[in-house]
């Protein structure tokens, strides 16, 4: 369906034409003075230059030409030349009826779907998920859903950190603790055991221990570096250990992400890119892009227009080991070969921006991707505690994601218990669903690139711009519909009729914005636009609800129409929260 603003604009273009002016001046926007009008057109001001006429005269001519419009209820020329507009109630309700008939609520799929990859999550194996990974998961999941809803073919990839020194450290530490394992026996020829020689709990303890020790013990660190190198060279026992580490970590990660309502199409990692490295490096050297500098292999990527220094992109260290850049470049080679994406969006901490500038430039320069492959860095800010510093545990350590979520759930449970009596089981389930909305909405309602303060009190409140407030609104609608069903037997299809009171019209205008908001949220990869929209919509609905008797409406047609208006509002809100990655309970 066309966007409502475009339909009003078309009407204005016609009127400009009819009055003898160029239709291009008919552009309409939502009013920035809602106390005066709903929409406005400022075209007469611009047209004044071309026609050497006072803007107010042009505006008056245009208003006259609108005499028999069915789209607008009022049009007024005001000095110095604005045209203030009010939409016709029946046109508005007609639009909503069309929208209500459509499964996608009038949001059309893109004509030419593209393959888009979203690189998000980015956990490191053998390390517990911490709050830093939370934002990537939440934002990436939402962006994935928004792009998919737009009609694109979207592939979400978790891109595990499963390569580099951390692996060598785990291997070394295991060797110290369990030297008799066959993985360390160079003469071992048989097949390695299927069972991993550790649990996730052990693994999570092994890594920090090894990491701490390597900072003090250089011999230990050297051994870990050697193990890393041997692993990278294909050491059979270490490769087998890597598989175990991956399996154990991934099943734990899957459980954690499932609790967040986040899921990935691909569970690939840095290690999957390894087979592509040798050919890639050869090509970069052969084609003269990569050269040696202080023993390392680098590619120059600075550009004349740079305002700050962009250092050369390092491809291999002097000892021949690969780096974070190497795996990201080789992953691009792999992605182009296997999926041929038109676009890749990286949802990563904004402090990694320089790394991605280097990777993107290097990939383009060396022809690893096509000239028009769109590589996009969606950098996000830090989640801070109330003190304005990076979020920490009470003891000052890095906060594990699981603990953070259980803190939220506890707070939510307390609030839910206060609201009405219910069984422990029900309270627990509702707390989980609503708690997730609190975390996700709290995050997504901020522009991704900004830092924000994680405030449990505020996020879990059912008042204000929060997830629970949105859910309360949906639950309120559900409960009115249930009551209606009890009274009337069923919610039957009926046309939505024009509402003449201001709160009804305002709700309808908000609903009519849906497809425009979806389009914009995709174009800007901006879930916060959806949050802002549903907050406005929920406010408009609650105002309407407080001012209008819905179940008490006398006229049966009007009552049925209002019930449909509620159904439509629920559909829009539920579609939107689905795109943000959470859902509403039946009751709260
Ligand atoms: N594992 C990385 C980290 O924890 C994030 C990975 C982001 N994605 C990428 N393609 N580099 O910092």
- pLDDT category at 182 given cuts 50, 70, 90 is very high
Instruction: Say yes or no: CB of residue 122 within 6 Å of ligand 1.
Output: yes
Cis previous bond, 438, omega within 30:
no
Confidence of residue 253 (pLDDT cuts 50, 70, 90): very high
How large is the average pLDDT for residues 68-86?
96
Distances (CA, A) of 165 to 129, 161, 236, 483: 18, 11, 17, 61
Q: What is the band of 127 on the pLDDT scale with cuts at 50, 70, 90?
A: confident
Confirm if 573 and 583 have CB atoms less than 8 A apart: no
Nearest atom in ligand 1 to the alpha carbon of residue 328 is 10
For residue 538, give the 3-state DSSP assignment: helix
**Residue nearest atom 10 in ligand 1 by C-alpha distance:** 328
Task: Mean pLDDT check: name the lowest of 207-211, 429-433, 495-499, 505-509.
Answer: 207-211
- Reference 163, options 283, 330, 318, 338; nearest CA is 330
Report the separation in Å between the CA atom of 124 and the middle of ligand 1, taken as the mean of its atom positions.
8
CA distance 343 to 374: 4
Q: Is 119 in the pocket of ligand 1 (CB under 6 A)?
A: yes
Is the pLDDT confidence value at 464 over 90? yes
pLDDT category at 94 given cuts 50, 70, 90 is very high
State the chain's mean pLDDT as an integer: 95
Atom of ligand 1 nearest to the CA of 324: 11
Tell me, in angstroms, the distance from the centre of ligand 1 to residue 448's CA: 17
pLDDT digits (tens, 9 = 90+) for 183-239: 999 999 999 999 999 998 898 899 889 999 999 999 999 999 999 989 988 899 999
CA of 348 to the centre of ligand 1 (A): 7
Residue in 211, 200, 202, 201 with CA at minimum distance from that of residue 178:
202
pLDDT band at residue 581 under the 50/70/90 scheme: very high
Q: What's the confidence (pLDDT) of residue 385?
A: 87
Residue 89: band (very low, low, confident or very high) from pLDDT cuts 50, 70, 90: very high
CA of 350 to the centre of ligand 1 (A): 11
Give the pLDDT score at 38. 95
Pairwise CA distance, residues 110 & 97, whole Å: 23
Q: How far away, in angstroms, is 77 Cα from ligand 1 center?
A: 56
Are 145 and 253 spatial neighbours (Cβ–Cβ below 8 Å)? Answer: no
Which protein residue's CA is at the shortest distance from atom 8 of ligand 1?
122
Q: HSE on the CB side for 535, CA within 13 Å?
A: 17
Ligand 1: which of 128, 129, 139, 159 to mutate, most ligand atoms within 8 Å of CB? 159
Tokens 């009115």 sit on residue: 480
Beta carbon of 124 within 6 Å of any ligand 1 atom:
yes
**pLDDT band at 415; cut points 50, 70, 90:** very high
Band of pLDDT at residue 408, cut at 50, 70 and 90:
very high
Q: What are 506's two structure tokens?
A: 């305002």
CA–centroid distance, 161 to ligand 1, in Å, is 6
Instruction: Name the residue with the closest Cα to ligand 1, atom 2.
Output: 122
pLDDT category of residue 320 using cuts at 50, 70 and 90: confident
- Mean pLDDT of the region 508-525: 98
- Fill in the DSSP letter of residue 498: P
Q: How far is CA 115 from the centre of its chain?
A: 17
| Binding site membership of 348 for ligand 1 (Cβ less than 6 Å) | yes
Q: pLDDT tens digits, residue range 266-315?
A: 999 999 999 999 999 999 999 999 999 999 999 999 999 999 999 999 99
DSSP string, 66-113: TTT-SSEEEEEEETTTEEEEEE-HHHHHHHHHHHHHSTTTT-PPPSS-
Q: Is the CB of 159 under 6 A from ligand 1?
A: yes
Secondary structure class of 374 (helix, strand, coil)? strand
Q: What angle do CA 449, 455, 457 make, to 5 degrees?
A: 150
Residues facing residue 314 across a β-bridge: 298
Rounded to an integer, the average pLDDT of 61-70 is 96
* Cα 171 from Cα 162, distance rounded (Å): 13
Compute CA distances 71 → 98, 186, 332, 409, whole Å: 15, 81, 50, 48
328 lines ligand 1 (CB under 6 A): yes
Residues 173 and 135: their CA atoms lie apart, in Å, by: 31
pLDDT for 234: 87
pLDDT-derived band at 34 (thresholds 50, 70, 90) equals confident
Tell me the C-alpha distance between 210 and 214, whole Å: 6
Q: What integer pLDDT is reported at residue 556 of this predicted model? A: 95
Whether 346 is in the pocket of ligand 1, judged by its Cβ within 6 Å, is: yes
- Give the pLDDT of residue 426: 93
What pLDDT does residue 419 have? 85
Protein residue closest via CA to atom 5 of ligand 1: 122
Q: Which is more confidently placed, 149 or 318?
A: 149
What residues have CB less than 8 Å from 283, skipping those under 6 apart? 366
Which pLDDT band, with edges at 50, 70 and 90, does 5 fall under?
A: very high
Q: How far is the CA of 390 from the centre of ligand 1 (A)?
A: 19
With a cut of 80, say whether residue 438 has pLDDT above it.
yes
Which helix (H) or strand (E) is 289 found in, with range? none
Distance CA 491, CA 487 (A): 10
Write the DSSP string, 145-184: HHHHHTT-EEEEE--BB--SHHHHHHHHHHHHH-TTSGGG
Cα–Cα distance, 341 to 347 (Å, whole number): 16
Cβ(161) – ligand 1 distance below 6 Å: yes
Q: What percent of the chain has pLDDT over 90?
A: 87
């Amino acid at each position: 369906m066309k966007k409502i603003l475009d339909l009003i604009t078309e009407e204005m273009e016609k009127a400009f034409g009819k009055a003898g002016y160029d239709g291009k001046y008919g552009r309409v926007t939502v009013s920035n003075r809602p106390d005066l009008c709903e929409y406005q057109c400022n075209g007469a001001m611009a047209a004044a230059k071309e026609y050497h006429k006072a803007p107010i005269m042009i505006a008056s001519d245009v208003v006259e030409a609108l005499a028999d419009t069915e789209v607008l209820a009022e049009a007024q020329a005001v000095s110095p030349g604005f045209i203030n507009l009010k939409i016709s109630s029946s046109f508005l309700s007609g639009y909503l009826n069309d929208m209500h008939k459509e499964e996608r609520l009038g949001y059309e799929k893109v004509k030419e779907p593209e393959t888009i990859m979203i690189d998000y999550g980015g956990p490191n194996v053998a390390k517990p998920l911490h709050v830093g990974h939370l934002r990537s998961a939440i934002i990436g999941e939402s962006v994935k859903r928004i792009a998919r809803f737009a009609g694109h073919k979207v592939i979400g990839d978790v891109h595990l950190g499963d390569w580099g020194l951390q692996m060598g450290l785990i291997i070394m530490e295991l060797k110290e603790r369990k030297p008799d394992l066959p993985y360390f026996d160079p003469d071992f020829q048989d097949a390695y055991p299927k069972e991993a020689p550790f649990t996730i709990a052990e693994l999570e303890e092994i890594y920090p221990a090894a990491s701490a020790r390597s900072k003090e013990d250089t011999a230990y660190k050297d051994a870990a570096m050697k193990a890393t190198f041997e692993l990278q060279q294909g050491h059979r026992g270490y490769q087998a250990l890597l598989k175990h580490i991956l399996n154990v970590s991934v099943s734990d990660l899957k459980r954690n992400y499932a609790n967040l309502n986040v899921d990935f199409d691909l569970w690939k990692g840095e290690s999957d890119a390894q087979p592509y490295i040798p050919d890639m490096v050869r090509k970069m050297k052969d084609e003269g892009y990569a050269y040696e500098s202080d023993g390392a292999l680098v590619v120059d990527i600075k550009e004349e227009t740079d305002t700050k220094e962009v250092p050369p992109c390092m491809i291999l260290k002097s000892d021949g080991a690969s780096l974070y850049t190497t795996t990201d470049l080789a992953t691009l080679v792999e992605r182009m070969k296997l999926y041929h994406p038109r676009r890749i969006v990286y949802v990563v901490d904004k402090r990694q921006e320089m790394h991605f500038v280097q990777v993107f430039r290097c990939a383009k320069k060396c022809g690893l991707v096509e000239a028009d492959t769109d590589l996009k860095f969606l950098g996000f800010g830090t989640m801070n505690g109330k003190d304005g510093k990076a979020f920490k545990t009470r003891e000052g350590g890095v906060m594990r994601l699981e603990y953070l979520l259980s803190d939220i759930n506890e707070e939510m449970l307390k609030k839910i218990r206060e609201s009405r009596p219910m069984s422990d089981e029900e309270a627990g389930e509702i707390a989980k669903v609503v708690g997730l909305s609190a975390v996700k909405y709290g995050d997504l309602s901020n522009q991704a690139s900004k830092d924000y303060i994680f405030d449990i009190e505020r996020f879990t409140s059912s008042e204000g711009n929060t997830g629970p407030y949105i859910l309360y609104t949906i639950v309120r609608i559900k409960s009115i519909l249930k009551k209606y069903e009890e009274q009337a037997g069923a919610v039957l299809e009926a046309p939505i009729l024009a509402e003449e009171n201001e709160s009804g019209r305002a709700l309808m205008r908000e609903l009519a914005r849906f497809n425009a908001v979806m389009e914009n949220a995709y174009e800007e990869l901006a879930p916060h636009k959806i949050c802002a929209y549903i907050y406005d919509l929920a406010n408009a609905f609650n105002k309407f609800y407080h001012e209008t008797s819905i179940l008490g409406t006398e006229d049966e047609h009007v009552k049925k129409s209002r019930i449909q208006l509620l159904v439509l509002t629920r559909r829009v809100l539920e579609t939107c929260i689905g795109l943000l990655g959470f859902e509403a309970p039946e009751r709260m």
